[in-house]
Structure 1
């Protein structure tokens, strides 16, 4: 390589717009060597890093799409479960309302029956007491009538 430099210095002419001497092939060789050095030292590792990063991004996007699909599927399942739970709770509320209405009617029927029985018992007791009172009054009236007759007869 040093011989090329010596040739380039020895044969250099001064003067023209473009000097075509040994400098041109030497510069071309330097550019090629520099290109190989830069390619092996910088561009390949950077290219590899860029490719690795692109691969990472691609796998991350694929995983994100899978997770999104899974999340949407879970959301749909949870919405369905929520819908079923609401229907079940509405059904349970309706059954509870019907049961409480049935129990209310039964309690009302029992209370009405007890009330009617108590009223009938009270009516029978009143009828019994009235009959007893009428019999007593009838006995007192006949006794009073006998006394009146006896006094009227003894006064005459």
Structure 2
């Protein structure tokens, strides 16, 4: 039976070690270099850039979170201080209003007492004056009665 050989290939066993094997090896190496240069290096570079971006973004986010937590703590402290200050101001205002109330009450009481004492003194003087006037009128009336009684006799 005649066998037809293409390209002058001879029949070998499982592996033929002619010029095809080195040619295929060169093609694989060449394809690896081409793929590495055109695809893997740019993709690797993009992946590294993205990884760097993610790492820097994470670091910045951690810094910002730490800053936010610090500011939150400061604001909480300021809020506590403001509340304490407000309570202090409210307490002082209550004490001031209580003192003003007591002072106003004391002043009103003293004015009322002074007014009552002045009225009492005025009433006493008017009573004494009325009594004196009554006494003088009684004396005049008594003298008049005595004169008329003596004049009739």
Q: TM-score band, normalised by the shorter chain? A: 0.7 to 0.9
2:29 corresponds to 1:32:
yes
Q: Distance in 2 between matches of 1:17 and 1:75?
A: 80
- C-alpha RMSD of the superposition: 2.2
**Structure 2 residue ranges without an equivalent (≥5):** 1-5
Aligned to 1:10, the other structure's residue is in SS state: coil
Q: Distance in 2 between matches of 1:96 and 1:56?
A: 58
C-alpha distance after superposition, 1:117-155 (max 9, x if no partner)? 111111101100100100110111122222233334444
- More relative contact order, 1 or 2 (CA 8 Å, 6+ apart): 1
Moved more, 98-107 or 67-76: 98-107
Q: Distance in 2 between matches of 1:91 and 1:19?
A: 98
2:133 corresponds to 1:131:
no
Aligned to 1:114, the other structure's residue is in SS state: helix
| Structure ranking higher in helix proportion | 1
Aligned to 2:9, the other structure's residue is in SS state: coil
TM-score, with normalisation over the residues of structure 2?
0.85
Aligned residues: 147
Per-residue deviation at 1:23? 3.1
C-alpha distance after superposition, 1:54-104 (max 9, x if no partner)? 011111101100110110011001000100010011101100110121112
**Structure 1 residue ranges without an equivalent (≥5):** 1-8
Aligned to 1:88, the other structure's residue is in SS state: helix
What's 1:3 paired with?
none
